[in-house]
Structure formats: C-alpha cells, structure tokens
Chain A
Amino acid sequence: MNEPMGNRRRKRPNMFKKREELQRKREELSRKPSNSRKKRTTTVALESISKQTSGGRELVEDWFSRQGWEPFQFQKETWDAYLKGESGLIHSSTGTGKTFAIWPAPLIEWLEESLSSGATEVTTPPLTVLWLTPLRALAGDTEKSLREMLDGLSLNWSLETRTGDTSASIKARQKKELPSALITTPESLSLLLSYADNQKMFANLKLVVVDEWHELMGTKRGTMTELALARLRVLNPNLRTWGMSATLGNTDEAMHTLCGINASTTRRITSNIDKEISFVSLLPESVENFPWAGHLGLPMVEQVAQTIEKAKTSLVFTNTRSQCEMWYQALLIVRPEWAGEIALHHGSLDRETRKFVEDAVRDSKLRCVVCTSSLDLGVDFAPVEQVLQLGSAKGVARLLQRAGRSGHKPGALSSVVCVPTHAFEIVEFAAARKALAAEKIESRRPLPKPLDVLSQHLVTLAVGGGFRLESVVAEIRSAYSYRNLSDIEFDWVLNFITKGGRALGAYPEYCKVQEYDGYYIVESDSVRQRHRMSIGTITSDDSMNVVFMSGERIGSLEESFIARLRPGDRFVFAGRCLELVRTKDMKAFVRLAPAKGGTVPRWMGGRMPLSSELSEAVREELGITAQGRYESEEMKLVEPLLRLQETWSQIPDEKSVLVEHMQSREGYHLFIYPFEGRLVHEGLAALLAYRMSRLTPATFSLSINDYGFEMVSNIDIPVEMLSEHHLFNPENLADDILRSMNASEMARRRFREIARVAGLVFSGYPGKSKTSRQVQVSSGLLFDVFSEYDPENLLLHQAQREVLEQQLEESRLRNAMKRLSKSRLISVELQRPSPMALPLLVESWRGKVSSETIAQRVSRMQLALTKKPPKATRTPIAKTKITQKTMLKKAAQEQGSKVS
C-alpha cells in the first residue's frame, strides 16, 4: 500500500472497490460485534437464562415450542441416551432434524449441572462440544443453526469454526483458548492434536459430533477421524461420540466404527420421520431411436428442459464433470433465454464460484443447477423442488441421497426424475425402483488398517507432546479399523517413523521420531513444521489452476489435460469457451474465446461401477423378463429391445450366465454377461484371458461395461473351456489377478496418495520452494526405488492391497465368481451383434493381456508428434445409432418374412 500509486492507474478502481468493501465490513462489524471479537468468556446471572426455576430440559422444550415445533420422538430419545452417558449413531434415509437431535443434549446437561450447583452465576464453559464436518462448506450452515439455539436460550456459550479457511490470527487466538463449541474438520482436529498442550485443550470435552459420517467412514479421512477419536477418549474417558449418517446397508458397523470398540453402551437411533419419495423415469417416446450405448444422454435435452420448466428450482445431477459441462451448454442451446438463470457446479470450479452458486440456490435465484456429486452433501437447499438424475446413479444409496436434496424440509416430498442416457439404463431404473422399495441399500466399509494413516497419526502424537509405547498400542487398537492390527504391523510402522523402513536395521541419517526408553517424541522443529503442513489425507491429482490473464481464478484442471493442449486451443470449462494462452508455474492462462465449441475436458475417474445391490436388482428384473413378463412402465418401453435380444440371442435369468460368441474380421469374440459392475468385469475379463492363455497361447483384447465384457482373440476359443476347466473358480484369485493385470502400474498410481499421507512426498512450504526443491520427488519414482531396494516395505503391500480391494473390488469379484461357477452356462452363437453385445463392441476402453517385452511393444508404438486434443465425446454413439436403426429395421423385416 505504500508504493506510489501514480503509474498504476489501471488498478485504481479495483483498489477503491476493495477499500469501500473494507470500510463496509468495518462498519458492519462495529454495528454488531460478533462473538469472535468481543471478550469471549463472560459471566452471566443464571436467572437471566432460567427465568423460572425450571430444569434444562424444560428450557429446551420451551425453545422448541417457541419455534412452533414439537420435538420428535427420536430427538428426545437421543437426549436421554446422551444424558445416560451413551454414544451412538442417528441415521435416516433423508430428511432433517438430526442436528437438533444431538445439539440440545449437551446444553441440557450443562444447564442441569449449573442449576443444581446452586450458583447464581455461570461462566462460559471451556471446550465442551466438538462438531466435525466433512466439508468446509458445511461449517457455515452448521454454525448458523447451532447459534440459533444458543441465542434462543440466551446461553453464554461461545461458538466458533476452525477449518483450513479460518484466518491465521483467529487460529492463533483459538490455540490459546478454544470456544465452548468448536465446528471443525477431521484435518483441523488432527492438527490440534499436534500441539503440545492438546491435553489441556480437550480436558473438559464432553461430546464429539460427527456429521455425515457415512461420507467419511469409508475414506482415509474417516480412518484419521477414528484415530483422533481414540486419542480424545484416552484424554477424556467419559467422552461421548455421536454420529449422524444416512442409512446404510451396514449401519451397525458404521456405529461401531464411530464409537470405537471399547464403547460400553451404544445406541442406534432411527429418525422416524417418514419421508415420501416420488421416483419418476423420464422416458423417451420410443426405444427405437434411442442409443444403445453412451453415457451423455443429450437426445433427452428437450424433455429435460420441459421438466425443469415445471418446477421453481431443480438440481440436475450428472455422473461426471464433463457430462456436467456438456449438459449446461446443451440446456443453454435449447433455452437461450435461461442464461443467468441456470448455473453449473462441480469440484473443479473455484471455491468462490461454487459458494456463489450455492448461495444463489438458497436464495431461490436460480431455476436450475447442473451439478455432480459436489452437491451430494451439505448445504440445505430449501427451495429445491425436484432433482433430475442424468444416467443411472449406479447405487441405491446415492439415488436416495440425491433425491433427498429436494424437499429438504420435514414433511416435504422428495422428488427425483431419472433420465436415461442409453436404452439399457431404463432397465436399471426399473430395478432401482424395486431395490428402493425393498430398502436394499449399499454398505460402506471402513478401510482395513491403512498403515500410511497410522504412521501419520503416530507422528502427529509424537509432535504433539509424545506418546508412550505401552499405552499407545491399546489406544490404536481401540479404533475399529485397527482392531486387528498385528504386532508385526505396529512394530513396522514404529520402525518406519523412527529408523526408516527396512525391517532389520535402520536407514542412515534418518531420524524423524526419537525414542527415549519407550517414550517417543519429535524434537526437530523442521520435522514438526513439515508434518503440520502435510497433515491431511486428501490427495488431489496434480491439478493446474486455470486463470484469466488478469489473474482471476476460474478453477483447476488435471495437468494431463492441459498438457495436451497447445496455446490457441479452445476448451469448454466452467460453462465458458476458453482459449489457452500459455502455461506457466502450474497455471494455465486463458482468455475468453469468441466462438462456441471446443473440447470438453475429460476428468480422471468419475465413472462409478454399478453397485452390487443394484446389479442384483437388474439381474432379477431380467429374470422376470426372461419369463416374458414386462411389468413396469420402464420395462414396457424397452420391450422391443429385449424382444430383439431374445430373438437373436437370449435373456439370461438369475441362475444362468449368458455367453455369446461370434466371428468377425477382428477375430473371435466372446461376450459374457455377469451383470456385476464394471470393476468386477475388468478384473474378471483379465483373469479369464490370463487363465485361457495359459491353456492355449492367445492374445486377448478386452472391453467392459457395467453389464458384461467382451474378449476378442486371434484364435477360436470354445465356450466349453469356461466350464470344463473351471475358469470361474475363485481359487488363487488374488495371485492370478495380480499376474493378469498391469497391477504394478496400478499400485504405482495408488502409491501417490500413500506416499503423501505417510510423509514421503512433501509438496513444499508456501514461498519457500527453493529449500524444499532438493527433496521433491515423484511418488512414482519412490515406488520404483522402494520396489527395488526395500521390497518388503509394508506401504508397498498396502498399495497392492488397495488396488485389489478398492480398485478391483476383490471380495465382490470373489463372490461373483462363486455365483458364476454355480450358474448354468447359456452359449449362443451370434449371426450379428446382439443388443447387449453392441455397446461392448463400440466401447472405447480396451485392455490387453499379452506377454511381450517392452522393446517389442515399442516397435509397434508411435511417438505422438502432433499433440492431439483430447476427444470430446466418444464418437461411437453416433455409429451405434445408425447401426441399431438398421438392425431394428432388419429385425422387423425378418419377423415379417417369417410370418408371411
């Protein structure tokens, strides 16, 4: 601010704006001093809180009735359980009321204690309630509703938020004195545990609330939360833990994971508000002109626009970010007048932009938001009247969760409209409806003892004042995920953080954590500082900021996408057509491009496999169809398609597995349909190819989707081989699968997150890049070095296990193979691709199983001299459309000729 302003005239208006803003903020602050600015600990006369000498519970119930509410039964049940000293989990499929089930409980307790103490005055209590939220964006809303009740009861509790967004000065003050109730994230809690005086900070803690526990549980952040809770329980044996969760297939396990294995009494509370869900499929006129494959669903755009017109506010959920961008553009093309009334929201957009959109929805300023799972949670959107799901949600729980984003008021109707992107998805909708009615909801499993998280946590404890060996083992094992942690594993992790990695002996020069007679502590300031900076387990892919030339940030994109663009290339992002100007310092500088068009980025991952519950429902649905019954509206619509499948091939029922074979110019095709989701199919296809190629030398090219997979080979493989040689036998599954797939490359990619969590990769101090550059290395290189020089490193094993369990769903694959080996094999020779085979034929993903050396492979590969812009859409869709039309015509002719 001190520098001369004369030559920077262009910037001036901006500066003034900022100054005005500052002034305005200052005035605002002086008008209503916020809790965080005034002296935080106050003493008030009890009389002013409790006008009559009623108890705490009556005061809370009074407050409810002043709001015009009556506490629900499950809310009262929670209060009672809490007051009895119990921990537990409150779950419901949708709806609200969970916050006020638990928040009044500690207030009642405190009021009762204060009133019965006989004192006339009460002081603001020290940290009593810790409220964990998975999303920083949720913290604001939570604070608002918690404060509402504190103000209503005129309690002198202090309430604050502490997340990654909180300013350094507030954080510093909070470090000295925490509020009575603190809303924070798992990472921030872990950070608090890394301060030496954490024992004092948490001395008076009575309750930890974990919001949206189902979102956290199956992730490393969830595991980190478990470990932090285990520590808090050691500091505070009477601590109660309460979680709020959506209903899961394994709600009990979710509760035990949250409460730890030492919890004496736990209670599972079901919110009993009946939430009505309207589930409608938006169907195309006829299935004849509807694509058989693809995942965009753009032919439905006009019908979708009409549906949006019927409601005041809609959320349109897409399954991938690129689909989100494309649909936003498509809606604007069919309804140009909606510019400004519709918005888009996904995880790559700038946080400010996302917040702006969220606020606009809340204030009923938008007609519709096209979004991804980024809006699955969080923010209460009261105005949303309906939710549209583009494409299958791939799981019952996800569909429920998304449906619950509309009618977000007790008693209001949740309405979800499912829009198919290809013909078979209509079958999925019919199946989803039944699974929903039968409450067949997916489970989410806690991660089995990830050692990277454990090593990070142990360093956190060593940084935060140190730990004793004899007590810490029991503490770690009290966390559900680590209940089976073996001595060998624990010792390995301990050795890893004190001496390096190798089982015997130490790495020279290395000493992160020091040991003094069973006491472990970090003494180096630089280790402490670096550890605090890298606490947290969320790994973002190497992403690049996308900014305008003026410096305004738009969002971030994967580096791999940007790397394929050249200056001048155009792409669609954040709803705008942009032109790349240059890339520098991990920033992509762009300007607005005049014309429409350009490629749409394809993001990594994104495509979820069909869940096992939904897969089963689809198989059942087809089983009914196999008997010739077409019951629901959806099934009636797809009847022509399935009849065609029946004519040219067969429809498998639940007890059989369909294998189609065919010969073409490309070779011999085998199509197998287990209906188990794409991940299982990926593993199964590779496994079968591997086992077949052991019996007879062959090279296979593979393609997969959620319903089945295709194997193309250069020689004719008899279908009987599948049963004769027991190829579906789940024995030796793990070994065979690791040999058959490029598992080491997959593990190498997995290692990126593990290396970061375990503190092997360090992204550097802000503004101190020079000194840390000497120790920067890619996780891939580390993986190679470990594999060669320390192959017994358990973190490598973990990478492999994560590939098997999470990437290939090994246990699900095993179950599928058990089922398949008992199933009846239906073998059909095709004259032409069947409706189920065609999508596999045009699938762009192709795997390969062969045994060539690198040099042999190189000889067939090409150097990409001209950088090709990434493909915008998968071209086969158009091809499919033509093919199927002609096919249906042909079929009709054939049928006609048969009759005549």
Chain B
Amino acid sequence: MQTKISGHLEIEIQGESLILLPQRAIYWQKNKTLLVADAHLGKAATFRAHNIAVPTGTTEKDLQALSELIVKTGAEHLIFLGDLVHNKRGLTDRTCSLILAWREHHSEIKITLVRGNHDRKIPSIAELMRLDIVEEPLVMQPFALKHHPEKDSAGYVLCGHTHPAVRLHGAGQKSLRLPCYVFDDHIGTLPAFGSFTGCADLEPTGSERIYVLAGDTVVEVH
C-alpha cells in the first residue's frame, strides 16, 4: 500500500491507524476498508436535466478514481458515508449504465452506503450498485460511521456532509483555499469525494487537527 499511493498520511485515531489519501478517501488498513464521503454521482446530469449546460465527464472521472483506489489499496469493503448520488433526476440512463459497468468491473467488493440526506429518495441505488443501505450510525468499533457530523455514543464518528475546506494565509495578503480532513475529539470529517462538489469554509477553533489536500499530497497544517 505505502508504495502504491504516494502523498498519503497515516494518523492514529482511537488507537486505530487510518491512512488519509490525497484522493479524498480514508483507507482503514486493518479492516481493508475504504471510506468515501459525498461522492454526489450524477450531479452534473441533474444540472443538465434542469437545462443548465454543464459538461459531461465528472461522474466518469469519479468512478475511475474509485477504481484506482480499489486496485491500489486492495480494499475489500467500500463504505460510502452518505450522499452517494446527488439527485433522482441525475440517475439518467447514461449515469446508470456508467454505474452498472463500473460495478461489473468491481463485482467482488462489498459496498455499504450509510444513508445521507441526498440518498433518502433514491432506494433504487441499492439494486443498481448492489450495495447495502444502512441508517447511521454504522458501528465498526471503535468508530461510528455516519453521514452527519454529530457526536455518537457508539464511538468516534467518521463522517462527511460538510465538504470541509480551510483558508490558509501567507505573507503579503495571499491566501489559498483547500479541501481538508478535520479531526476533533469526537468527530472526524472527510472532504467531499465528488469532483463536481463545492466546499464550505471551516472555522478552525484551534483544538482540531487539520490535514489539507495540497495537490497530490496530504499536509498537516497548524
């Protein structure tokens, strides 16, 4: 693993080792589990269905990136932390056939979706992607896997939903805004995976650990 993906960063949470990947996903090596939040597949198609001209290619790219991650990590279990699909209207024939072909290619892997706010009205995704939908939290000791960043008595929360980013400041009024991983005492939030997703500025309090995605490297910032 270490040799296959460069730029990653290994951290320890609750005694477990987690690998933060520059491709916006966490690999939990002990359980051979890949965690991905907020993929928002079919988002561009939703826009086009509303007659807003957005080019094609984002969903393809995201599925391809997922493929690469699966191959390179050798993951056996893929868990989506909510918001796998953007909207019902984005599940066009075209999007569906892309997803089907992708699943065909990775027929071995087990997939679980922790239901997020965007997935609520799309039960058909279970069949399409041959995955299990579970309500949050999905407990895998010591973690409670969720979509929404809320404390949970079942364990340390790993989640998505907020699409976090931070603004870094340099000398001479220069600033840079980058998506990031955030870990506080109870909750760890993943950056959004989808390439057609925005992000929201985080307001750091100083007590959390922040890892930004700087190009193809994960960097801790202070």
Contact = CB atoms under 8 A, between A and B. Distances in A.
Interface of A: 496, 500-502, 507-512, 524, 526-527, 563, 701, 759-760, 762, 774-775, 777-778, 780-782, 785-786, 788-790, 793, 844-848, 853-855, 857-867
Interface in B37-53: 44-53
B71 interface: no
B201 A563 contact: yes
A847 B205 CA distance: 29
Contact of A789 (B48, B58, B87, B201): B58
A866 B89 CA distance: 42
Nearest to A758: B53
Nearest to B219: A858
15 contacts: A496-B53, A508-B94, A510-B48, A510-B49, A510-B53, A775-B47, A785-B196, A788-B57, A847-B172, A854-B176, A857-B176, A861-B170, A863-B221, A864-B169, A866-B206
B190 interface: no
B67 interface: no
Given A774-B50, A788-B57, A863-B168, 18 more contacts: A500-B53, A500-B55, A509-B45, A509-B92, A512-B53, A760-B52, A775-B46, A777-B198, A785-B58, A786-B55, A789-B57, A793-B55, A858-B168, A862-B169, A862-B170, A862-B221, A863-B169, A863-B204
B18 interface: no
Contacts of A511: 51
Nearest to A507: B48
Contacts of A777: 47, 196, 198
Contacts of B49: 509-510
A508 B48 contact: yes
A514 B99 CA distance: 30
A665 B193 CA distance: 46
A865 B206 contact: yes
A501 B53 contact: yes
Contacts of B145: none
Contacts of B171: 846, 860
Given A861-B168, A862-B170, A865-B206, A855 B217 contact: yes
Given A777-B198, A778-B198, A864-B169, A853 B52 contact: no
B166 interface: yes
Interface string B28-39: 000000000000
B101 interface: no
Nearest to A775: B50
B45 A759 contact: no
A864 B167 contact: yes
B66 interface: no
Contacts of B176: 854, 857-858, 861
Give the 5 A-B CB pairs with smallest separation, nearest first.
A846-B172, A789-B57, A790-B55, A789-B55, A861-B168
A853 B217 CA distance: 11
Contacts of B196: 777, 781, 785
Nearest to A771: B50
A508 B94 CA distance: 8
B56 A861 contact: no
Interface of B: 44-58, 86-87, 89, 92, 94, 166-176, 178, 195-198, 201, 203-206, 210, 212, 214-215, 217, 219, 221-222
A782 B47 CA distance: 11
A745 to B, nearest CB: 10
A855 B55 contact: no
Contacts of A844: 173
A561 to B, nearest CB: 14
A853 B215 contact: yes
B48 A865 contact: no
A860 B56 contact: no
For B45, B51, B172, the residue with the greatest tally of chain A CB atoms inside 10 Å of its CB is B51
A500 B48 contact: yes
A775 B196 CA distance: 12
Contacts of B212: 858
Given A785-B44, A846-B172, A858 B214 contact: yes
Contacts of B175: 861
Contacts of A781: 196-198
Contacts of A778: 198
Contacts of B52: 510, 759-760, 762, 775
Contacts of A760: 52-54
For B56, B197, B198, the residue with the greatest tally of chain A CB atoms inside 10 Å of its CB is B56
A62 to B, nearest CB: 57
Contact of A859 (B53, B172, B219): B219
A854 B174 CA distance: 13
Nearest to A513: B51
Contacts of B198: 777-778, 780-781
Contacts of B174: 848, 861
A853 B178 CA distance: 14
Contacts of A527: 51
A861 B172 contact: no
Contacts of A759: 52
Contacts of A866: 206
B66 to A, nearest CB: 18
B54 A774 contact: no
A384 B92 CA distance: 64
Contacts of A789: 55-58
A510 B167 CA distance: 35
For A760, A859, A864, the residue with the greatest tally of chain B CB atoms inside 10 Å of its CB is A864
Nearest to A527: B51
A862 B47 contact: no
For B58, B166, B221, the residue with the greatest tally of chain A CB atoms inside 10 Å of its CB is B221
Contacts of A859: 219
Given A507-B54, A786-B55, A855-B219, A863 B210 contact: yes
Nearest to B50: A775
A563 B166 CA distance: 13
B16 to A, nearest CB: 25
B221 A508 contact: no
Contact of B53 (A507, A848, A854): A507
A391 to B, nearest CB: 22
Given A781-B196, A858-B214, A509 B48 contact: yes
Contacts of B56: 507-508, 789
B48 A858 contact: no
A199 to B, nearest CB: 25
B95 to A, nearest CB: 9
Contacts of B167: 864
Contact of B221 (A510, A701, A788, A858): A858
A844 B171 CA distance: 11
Contact of B92 (A496, A508, A775, A861): A508
A646 B56 CA distance: 63
B53 to A, nearest CB: 5
Contacts of B53: 496, 500-501, 507, 510, 512, 760
Contacts of B57: 788-789
A779 to B, nearest CB: 10
B173 A846 contact: yes
A502 B55 contact: yes
A864 B52 CA distance: 36
Nearest to A505: B56
B73 to A, nearest CB: 22
A854 B215 contact: yes
Contacts of B55: 500-502, 507, 785-786, 789-790, 793
A701 B172 CA distance: 9
Contacts of B45: 508-509
Contacts of B86: 774
A512 B52 CA distance: 8
A10 B37 CA distance: 48
Contacts of A786: 55
B5 to A, nearest CB: 16
Contacts of A790: 55
For A759, A785, A790, the residue with the greatest tally of chain B CB atoms inside 10 Å of its CB is A785
A866 B210 CA distance: 15
Contacts of A857: 170, 176, 214
